[in-house]
């Protein structure tokens, strides 16, 4: 592809960024090689031998497991083993380490790349097929180098991650986030967990881009304008010149951040809480800086990222303790690990599932694998002593499940001689939210997880950009369900928050206030924006406006109505908000 070429896709997280293409997943890349000292050579060579043996063992095990069932051609696995034992491959990697002083990963990648080029130029289809085998073996070997205690790998220069499959949270967490300028991926929806994470770290993402591998090569300079869904490959100076960080926007954001360190009230004096969704202890600093009234959701499963094994109770404890200590006495809702779906820890033995989001996930795993959750619960209870915290359980479908989960938590607390913490349900499965009334006597608080709730109600996978048009938070039937949930909660005096992405979208703020929301939980960066809007809304007017939604039947009519309502309730406050996109 020529200089100045571009590809298009779907904007998943807006903004823009520029850097060298770094392929994640099934591809060899060599954006920047890492050098080592002479003293490190011996260790790198030994390590190479170890990971080759490990890879062969894993492939052999796979062949044995498949046995007669062999859904996959086992001869392919034999080819992988053959490559791992190939004296030419081994010799070249060792030579690259010892003479060029590159680290093990760089050496494996350089040599694999070299093999691939030779296979490609051989011309026959047999050799062309060997290219993908080489990629597999290379990625397999490199993967062993990063299975350690949650360390993220770093880059020397800014990169754009190119993901040749569905984008997953690990694609971000495995790397130093400060160097990731943008992500370009073949698949992944706006509320996929990976997109949520990217958004919270201000990493622009474009999804649904086809033929990535054909047009982009490792190390290519890319400019990703996710706001306009365009990826520029080796952009010209004139294209690059159009993009620069806008100081005006930064200043406005800084001003709002300072202004909203305080609580917010609607124009007619009703206090609204705006809390933060976080994943890691460092995120709490960002939440506090942005004026969070507490932490409304800790996605604790991110503690498991980049690990070889389930963290011990001590590791869990240190994680909660740090989060709670940083929260400055404000409330903190700790959600039990939401494992499953698109969040499967590397070490966790998951049965293969046709439909992972409908499968073994969260509370369903909890009730079966009480051992691993008991470790988590003990650590939370211990770390939580003296703090204002509560426990939330994800993916609850039935009251029975919830009662069983609550009993386990209660028993652990009793064994430890500690009092039962406040426990609540994350309503994100249609059955539970439609039956919310029956939960009321048994819970201390509730939150709505709109990300999953929308995907389950609309049967539109949140990870699939192809069906994103159906995944719509302003669908009339969905809004009526939300309104009814708020009525139920209100009638029972039950605190009810929303911690899905919907709550963090400024164009939904007035709508949600009208529907009855008094507690938002959003990504930290958006807290000042949401508070600024709330201060411009009259609760009485917002509630009055909502009384009309029953008459609205179509998605289009609801979208139009929402635009009008935003104008009427917010004046120009919404359009005046600083855009976080830095495109001039
Ligand atoms: C949700 O589903 O809305 C939610 C908050 O949980 P998660 O995005 O982690 O699935
Ligand atoms: Mg969820």
Q: Which atom of ligand 1 is nearest to the CA of 453?
A: 2
3-state secondary structure of 438: helix
- Distance CA(268)–CA(541), nearest Å, equals 9
193 is catalytic: yes
Cα 297 to middle of ligand 2, angstroms:
11
Alpha-carbon Rg of the chain, whole angstroms?
A: 25
Relative to the alpha carbon of 197, which ligand is closest? 1
Dihedral of the alpha carbons of 204, 205, 210, 211, in degrees to the nearest 10: 60
**237 class by beta-carbon count within 10 Å (0-12 exposed, 13-18 middle, 19+ buried):** exposed
Q: CA 96 to CA 104: how far, in whole Å?
A: 9
Most ligand 1 atoms within 8 A of CB, residue of 394, 463, 485 to mutate: 394
Looking up residue 214, the CATH number of its domain turns out to be: 3.50.30.10
Ligand 1 pocket: which of 397, 432, 452, 522 to mutate (most atoms <8 Å of CB)?
452
- Indicate whether 462 and 517 sit together in one domain: yes
**Does 32 reside within a domain?**
no
Is residue 542 within 8 Å of residue 533, measured between CB atoms? no
**210 assigned to some structural domain:** yes
What is the C-alpha separation between 547 and 554, in angstroms, rounded? 16
194 in any annotated domain: yes
Q: Where a domain ends, among 227, 247, 267?
A: 247
Would 107 be classed as within a structural domain?
yes
Residue 309: give its domain's CATH number: 3.20.20.60
Q: Which atom of ligand 1 is nearest to the CA of 196?
A: 8
Note whether 322 and 184 are same-domain residues. Answer: no
Do 208 and 318 share a domain, yes or no? no
Q: Judge if 225 and 360 occupy the same domain.
A: no
Number of domains in the chain: 3
Tens digits of pLDDT across the chain (584 residues): 445 589 999 999 989 999 988 887 644 444 457 788 888 899 899 999 999 998 888 778 767 765 654 444 567 678 888 999 999 999 999 999 999 999 898 899 889 888 888 887 877 767 766 776 787 788 778 877 765 444 556 676 788 999 887 777 777 877 788 889 999 998 888 888 888 889 988 899 999 998 887 888 877 889 999 989 999 999 988 888 888 767 788 899 999 999 999 999 999 999 999 999 999 999 999 999 999 999 999 999 999 987 878 999 999 999 999 999 999 999 999 999 999 988 888 788 888 888 989 999 999 999 999 999 999 999 999 999 999 999 999 999 999 999 999 999 999 999 999 999 999 999 999 999 999 999 999 999 999 999 999 999 999 998 888 888 899 999 999 999 999 999 999 999 999 999 999 999 999 999 999 999 999 999 999 999 999 999 999 999 999 999 889 899 999 999 999 999 999 999 999 999 987 443 32
Backbone dihedral angles phi then psi of residue 399, each to the nearest 5 degrees: -65, -35
Counting beta carbons within 10 angstroms of the beta carbon of residue 215, is it exposed (0 to 12), middle (13 to 18) or buried (19 or more)? middle
Establish whether 255 is a catalytic residue.
Answer: no
Strand partners, 522: 276
Q: Which ligand sits nearest to residue 299's alpha carbon?
A: 1
Residues 440, 319, single domain; the answer is yes
CA of 412 relative to ligand 2 center, distance in Å: 25
Kindly give the distance from the C-alpha atom of residue 392 to the centroid of ligand 2, in angstroms, as a whole number: 12
CA-to-CA distance for 10 and 205, rounded, in angstroms?
9
Q: Is residue 423 part of a domain?
A: yes
Cα-to-chain-centroid distance, residue 431: 25
End of a domain among 125, 144, 163?
Answer: 144
Tell me, yes or no, whether 125 and 195 share the same domain: no
Per-residue confidence (pLDDT) for residue 1, from 0 to 100 = 45
Same domain, yes or no, for 113 and 240?
no
Distance 395 CA to ligand 2 centre (A): 7
450 lies in the same domain as 324: yes
Report the pLDDT value the prediction gives residue 72, as an integer from 0 to 100. 46
Protein residue closest via CA to atom 7 of ligand 1 = 451
Same domain, 97 and 187: no
Residue 221: enclosing H or E segment and its boundaries?
strand 221-225
Determine the atom of ligand 1 nearest the C-alpha atom of 451.
Answer: 3
Point out the domain boundary residue: 222, 247, 272: 247
From 193, 290, 316, 508, the catalytic residue: 193
- Whole-number Å distance, alpha carbon 500 to ligand 1 midpoint, is 5
The DSSP secondary structure of 468-521, one letter per residue, reads GGG--TT-HHHHHHHHHHHHHHHHTT--EEE-SGGGG-GGGHHHHHHHT--EEE
Ligand 1 neighbours, Cβ below 6 Å, are: 193, 196, 297, 299, 338, 428, 449-452, 499-500
Residue 151 pLDDT: 54
Pairing of strands 16-24, 159-166: parallel
Whether 434 is in a domain gets the answer yes
Please state, in angstroms and rounded to a whole number, the distance separating the CA atoms of residues 538 and 135.
58
Residue nearest to atom 8 of ligand 1 (CA): 451
**What is the residue with the minimal CA distance to atom 6 of ligand 1?**
449
Mutate to test the pocket of ligand 1, among 428, 462, 497, 512 (most ligand atoms within 8 A of CB): 428
- Asked whether residue 31 is domain-assigned, the answer is no
Give the residue numbers spanning the domain of 186: 5-26+151-247
In ligand 1, the atom with minimum distance to the C-alpha of 428 is 2
Q: Regarding beta strands 422-427 and 389-393, do their DSSP bridges make them parallel or antiparallel, or are they unpaired? A: parallel
Residues 576 and 532 occupy one common structural domain: yes
Domain identity same for 287 and 214: no
Residues 242 and 257 in one domain: no
Q: Hey, which of 393, 462, 481, 500 would you mutate to test ligand 1's pocket, going by the most ligand atoms within 8 Å of its Cβ?
A: 500
Closest ligand 1 atom to 341 CA: 10
* Residue 122's CATH number: 1.10.274.10
**Cα of 394 to ligand 2 centre, how many Å?**
7
Cα–Cα distance measured from residue 335 to residue 524, given in angstroms and rounded to the nearest whole number: 17
**Cα(502) to centroid(ligand 2), Å:** 12
In a domain, 99, yes or no: yes
The CB density around residue 284, as the number of other CB atoms within 10 Å, is 24
Within 364-431, strands assigned E span 389-393, 422-427
Establish how many alpha carbons lie within 13 A of residue 236's alpha carbon, considering only the half-sphere containing its beta carbon. Answer: 7
């Amino acid at each position: 592809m020529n200089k100045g070429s571009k590809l298009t896709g779907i904007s998943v997280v807006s903004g823009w960024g520029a850097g060298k293409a770094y392929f994640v997943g099934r591809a060899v890349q060599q954006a920047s090689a890492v050098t080592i000292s002479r003293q490190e050579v011996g260790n790198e060579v030994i390590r190479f031998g170890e990971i080759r043996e490990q890879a062969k063992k894993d492939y052999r095990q796979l062949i044995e497991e498949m046995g007669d069932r062999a859904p996959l051609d086992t001869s392919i696995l034999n080819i992988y083993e053959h490559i791992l034992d190939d004296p030419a491959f081994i010799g070249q990697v060792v030579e690259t380490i010892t003479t060029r002083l590159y680290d093990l990963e760089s050496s494996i990648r350089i040599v694999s790349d070299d093999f691939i080029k030779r296979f490609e130029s051989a011309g026959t289809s047999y050799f062309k097929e060997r290219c993908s085998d080489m990629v597999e073996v290379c990625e397999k070997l490199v993967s062993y180098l990063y299975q350690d205690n949650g360390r993220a790998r770093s880059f020397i220069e800014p990169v754009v991650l190119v993901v040749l499959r569905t984008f997953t949270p690990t694609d971000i967490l495995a790397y130093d986030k400060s160097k990731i300028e943008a992500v370009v991926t073949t698949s992944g929806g706006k509320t996929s967990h990976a997109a949520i994470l990217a958004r919270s770290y201000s990493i622009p993402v474009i999804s649904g881009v086809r033929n990535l591998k054909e047009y982009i090569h490792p190390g290519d300079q890319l400019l990703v304008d996710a706001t306009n869904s365009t990826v520029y490959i080796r952009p010209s100076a004139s294209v690059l010149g159009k993009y620069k960080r806008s100081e005006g926007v930064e200043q406005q954001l800084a001003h709002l951040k300072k202004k909203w360190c305080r609580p917010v009230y609607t124009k007619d004096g009703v206090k609204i809480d705006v809390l933060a969704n976080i994943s890691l202890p460092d995120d709490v600093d960002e939440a506090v800086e942005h004026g969070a009234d507490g932490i409304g959701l800790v996605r604790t499963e991110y503690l498991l990222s980049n690990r070889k094994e389930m963290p011990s109770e001590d590791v869990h404890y240190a994680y909660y303790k740090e989060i709670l200590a940083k929260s400055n006495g404000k409330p903190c809702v700790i959600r039990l690990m939401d494992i499953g779906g698109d969040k499967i820890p590397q070490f966790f033995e998951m049965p293969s599932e046709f439909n992972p989001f409908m499968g073994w996930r969260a509370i369903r795993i909890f009730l079966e694998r009480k051992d691993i959750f008991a470790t988590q619960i003990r650590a939370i209870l211990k770390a939580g002593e003296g703090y204002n915290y509560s426990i939330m359980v994800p993916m609850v479908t039935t009251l029975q499940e919830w009662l069983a989960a609550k009993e386990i938590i209660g028993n652990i607390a009793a064994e430890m001689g500690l009092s039962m913490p406040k426990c609540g349900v994350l309503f994100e499965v249609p059955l539970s939210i439609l039956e919310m009334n029956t939960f009321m006597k048994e819970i201390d608080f509730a939150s709505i997880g709109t990300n999953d709730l929308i995907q389950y109600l609309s049967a539109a996978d949140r990870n699939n950009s192809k069906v994103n048009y159906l995944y719509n938070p302003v669908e009339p039937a969905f809004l009526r369900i939300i309104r009814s949930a708020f009525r139920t909660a209100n009638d029972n005096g039950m605190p009810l928050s929303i911690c899905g992405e919907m709550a963090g979208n400024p164009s939904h703020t007035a709508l949600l206030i009208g529907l009855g929301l008094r507690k938002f939980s959003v990504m930290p960066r958006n807290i000042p924006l949401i508070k600024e809007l709330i201060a411009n809304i009259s609760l009485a007017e917002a509630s009055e406006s909502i009384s009309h939604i029953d008459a609205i039947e179509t998605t289009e009519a609801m979208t139009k109505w929402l635009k009008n309502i935003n104008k009427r309730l917010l004046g120009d406050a919404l359009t005046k908000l600083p855009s976080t996109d830095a495109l001039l």
